[in-house]
Amino acid sequence: MKKLILISLSILFLVLHTPAQSKTPKAPTQKEMDDAMQGMQKIMDGMSPEDKKMMEKMGVKIPSMNSMPKMSEQQMQNAMDIATRVVPPKDDARIASISKIPLTSSTLPAYLSASHTKVLAVLRPEAKTKGEELYQSFKKKNKSSISVGNSAASLWMMGKPELALYVLGKACIDDPANTDNRNNYASMLSMSGAEQLALPILNNLNKRFPKNSTILNNIGQAWFGLGDMDQAVAYLDSTIHLFPAHSQANATKSAIEESKGNKDAAVAILKKSLKEAYSEDKQDKLAQLGYEFDEKDIILPFKPKQDPLGLEKFNPPAIPKTVEESVILEKEWRQFKDECTSKIDQLAPLLNQARINATTATEKRQKEFMDGTNKQSIPYFASRVNIKLKALSTDADGTYTRRIATALQQLNDYSTNKASLTKDFDKAIAKLKKEEAKQDGEGKANADFCPRFVALENDYLKAYNTEWEQIHNEAIAAIRQKFNQETYYQLYTKWPEDFEVIRLTTQIQWISTLHDTYYLSINSPVCDPEKEVKKGKSGPLPDFDDIHCEYHSELSTPIGKISMDCSRLTAELDLEVVKLGIKQNMNKEGFSDQFMACSVEIGASKTIGTGDLGPLKAEASVGGSVKAEFDRNGLIDITAKAGVEAKAGIEIKGAESGGDVSLNAKVGLDAKISLISGHGSIEGAGTLSGMSKYSY
């Protein structure tokens, strides 16, 4: 019934275009609802069978408005409350079920065992069966609880939350003293909708490791999930005090501020979270809150090269400043323009084939998306890079748009602005011609006026073309920058086949721009016909530099690897795991109904001269670490931290975040892995949300 009510209200919102508000809007009346339903039924009745079939392939079941249940105004208001809720309501029953007696080392084993039993009662039978197979396999491969726990954390990162919960629960029972496993298990419980089970474990850890930002954040997230905002804020504020840029704590604190109507505070806090770790959810939320993005808000793990296409290698002939240069350069320009035409003729068929390939690839992706075999609808970095592209195209960052427009306008107006110079030149030439004409004929001096004509022409060419060349070169430099930067960024906003079309189109546009160069030339004969005129020195045009994706990050876990490149995110399970019947395709599963986001800190398992320091913290790392950021769609970022390569449990290759060097991180079975919770689903749709109350 609840689902049908929510569907009905969603349809009503679509029809009425209800705007987003900071407070819960008033529910529609029964008449408004009936009218909206009838309107939607007309729309659906008018859909073609092909459109209906396509929607069903995409998993959208076309409902009949006539079969929708009648709802009272109170039911509609309750459903409206759920649909517009920013924070979960306070769950007094679950809060009351939390034991007031702190866990101790002697009571901890029984608690972990009882919690696992409670989880088993909710997990799907197939998850329990596969979970046990995986657990036994991990135990056989490496008997330590650390390795089993890390394999469980890897299952979580690979989008297998139920299997992760099962395996990690068993690992905690095997070794209750392992603090990393306990933190990660509590984090999973909290993000899966069993915050009441997570808190006693986290409180026990907090007593042992005070001022640990990971534990404090995880406690705050658990209280948020239970709807106790006072408790949540207290722990989240403590986390932010230790690490002001904390991604998860700031994101959840922003939601709390939004729920209070403090929009400006919500925006400011969420911007801090976004700067630490980007996600589309945060970007969408900021836009919903009315914030207009600035390209400086987006930090990318790569930066453009100065000349990725190799355009600076294309050097057209100079602009002539003398009559002699006009004669020489005319031949060079003729040869250069012929080479440009030839180059364009070579590129044109390649562009046509690239367009065909792009169309075929698009059709294939659309089919895979409709079949549900590929959920990635846009290239991986497209959302954030498009903000950079918009800034470039609107010249928000002061790059080239205004420079190009200004230079082109100056070139367009140039002849008008130089009209007086041209007029004076024409008068001087006419005067000299009259003077020459007066002394022509028998008995006249018949002096050689050629040098005087050439002197006038040289002065005019120099005065006219010097400034013309400066403006022209400024336009060419700005256009070159435009082509270089936009093409480079489109490596990350377009699929490879589409990018190939852009690459070839840009190359043709660049060659055409150079080919169409205009300049003033005076090709009157040189005064000394015996003087040898230099030959043109232009040769074949150079090749463009190859531009391709150079960004690749890879996180290898004990059970598989997740790879990120310019356009695609892929996940691949280890062969041994696949043999146990675990599906390799991550696209159909994941966290969509589980939680909003989480972070994972991965570092060395051993540090010389220290004991157990508790879970890794987001703000610091010992001996080098890697931070992986996840949202409901899976991995969204990998960042190398702290400079020094760890020697136990994790291998880091490549540069720290920033630049074009790829990052590869290999997590060993003995690495230290810490899950940092993000807040759970507002509607309580996590794997364990159906768990009954559990008292201790």
- pLDDT, tens digit (0-9, with 9 covering 90-100), for 470-492: 999 999 999 999 999 999 999 99
What would the mean pLDDT of 432-460 be, rounded to a whole number?
80
Does an H or E element contain 88, and which?
A: none
Tokens, residue 143: 């008997």
What would the mean pLDDT of 593-613 be, rounded to a whole number?
68
Task: Compute the distance between CA of residue 70 and CA of residue 544 in angstroms, rounded to an integer.
Answer: 66
Distances (CA, A) of 518 to 319, 330, 414, 469, 513: 9, 12, 12, 10, 10
In this prediction, residue 336 has a pLDDT band, given cuts at 50, 70 and 90, of very high
Query: What's the 3-state SS for 324-369?
Result: HHHHHHHHHHHHHHHHHHHHHHHHHHHHHHHHHHHHHHHHHHHHHH
Contacts for 345-353 with beta carbons within 8 Å, 24 or more apart?
A: 347/504, 347/507, 347/508, 347/511, 348/508, 350/504, 351/501, 351/504, 351/505, 351/508
Residue 649: per-residue pLDDT: 67
**Pair 248, 677: CB distance under 8 Å:** yes
pLDDT value at 563 more than 80:
yes
- DSSP structural state of residue 596: S
Residue 479: per-residue pLDDT: 94
- What is the signed CA dihedral for 370, 374, 380, 382, rounded to 10 degrees? -10
Name the nearest CA neighbour of 219 among 246, 183, 255. 183
Cβ contacts of 662 within 8 Å, gap of 6 or more: 550, 551, 552, 553, 554, 654
Helices (H), 526-658: 575-579
Task: Compute the distance between CA of residue 325 and CA of residue 97 in angstroms, rounded to an integer.
Answer: 92
**223-232, 326-335, 617-626: least confident range:** 617-626
Residue 14: per-residue pLDDT: 43
In this prediction, residue 300 has a pLDDT band, given cuts at 50, 70 and 90, of confident
Residue 598: beta bridge partners? 630, 677
Q: Is the model more confident about 529 or about 439?
A: 439
Between strands 597-603 and 569-573, the pairing is unpaired
Mean pLDDT value across the chain? 82
Strand 552-557's sheet: what is its strand order? 569-573, 560-565, 552-557, 663-667, 650-654
Q: Is the model more confident about 409 or about 11?
A: 409
User: Please, how many CA atoms are within 13 Å of residue 352, restricted to the half-sphere of its CB?
Assistant: 5
- DSSP structural state of residue 64: -
Note the maximum CA span of the chain.
131
Does an H or E element contain 241, and which?
A: helix 229-242
**Pair 638, 151: CB distance under 8 Å:** no
pLDDT value at 8 more than 50:
no
What would the mean pLDDT of 161-186 be, rounded to a whole number?
95
Strand 597-603's sheet: what is its strand order? 634-641, 625-631, 597-603, 672-677
Task: Compute the distance between CA of residue 160 and CA of residue 591 in angstroms, rounded to an integer.
Answer: 8
Helices (H), 413-449: 414-417, 419-438
Cβ contacts of 61 within 8 Å, gap of 6 or more: none
Tokens 């073309």 found at: 465
Task: Compute the distance between CA of residue 113 and CA of residue 373 in angstroms, rounded to an integer.
Answer: 38
- DSSP structural state of residue 292: P
Name the nearest CA neighbour of 495 among 374, 665, 654. 374
**Pair 283, 295: CB distance under 8 Å:** no
pTM over 0.85: no
Residue 309: per-residue pLDDT: 93
In this prediction, residue 668 has a pLDDT band, given cuts at 50, 70 and 90, of confident
Q: Is the model more confident about 647 or about 242?
A: 242
Task: Compute the distance between CA of residue 363 and CA of residue 369 in angstroms, rounded to an integer.
Answer: 10
Domains of the chain are 2-83 (no CATH), 92-297 (1.25.40.10), 311-515 (no CATH), 552-677 (no CATH)
Residue 7: per-residue pLDDT: 43
Tokens, residue 391: 């800034």
What would the mean pLDDT of 259-263 be, rounded to a whole number?
93
Name the nearest CA neighbour of 278 among 388, 143, 199, 359. 388
Q: Is 628 helix (H, G, I), strand (E, B) or coil?
A: strand
Other C-beta atoms closer than 10 Å to the C-beta of 364 total 12
What would the mean pLDDT of 176-182 be, rounded to a whole number?
95
Which amino acid, one-letter code, is at 370?
Answer: M
Tokens, residue 142: 């490496």
In this prediction, residue 5 has a pLDDT band, given cuts at 50, 70 and 90, of very low
Length of the chain: 696
Distances (CA, A) of 395 to 313, 388, 402: 26, 10, 7
In this prediction, residue 73 has a pLDDT band, given cuts at 50, 70 and 90, of low
Residue 696: per-residue pLDDT: 24
**Pair 559, 151: CB distance under 8 Å:** yes
Which amino acid, one-letter code, is at 676?
Answer: I
**Pair 621, 644: CB distance under 8 Å:** no
Name the nearest CA neighbour of 254 among 239, 235, 273, 238. 273
Residue 29: per-residue pLDDT: 64
Task: Compute the distance between CA of residue 551 and CA of residue 662 in angstroms, rounded to an integer.
Answer: 5
Tokens, residue 350: 């390649």
**Pair 146, 667: CB distance under 8 Å:** no
Residue 2: per-residue pLDDT: 43
pLDDT above 90 covers a percentage of the chain that reads 46
Residue 4: per-residue pLDDT: 40
What would the mean pLDDT of 569-583 be, rounded to a whole number?
78
Other C-beta atoms closer than 10 Å to the C-beta of 101 total 8
In this prediction, residue 43 has a pLDDT band, given cuts at 50, 70 and 90, of confident
In this prediction, residue 369 has a pLDDT band, given cuts at 50, 70 and 90, of confident
Q: Is 461 helix (H, G, I), strand (E, B) or coil?
A: helix
Does an H or E element contain 554, and which?
A: strand 552-557
Name the nearest CA neighbour of 411 among 361, 317, 478. 478
Tokens 């630490």 found at: 276
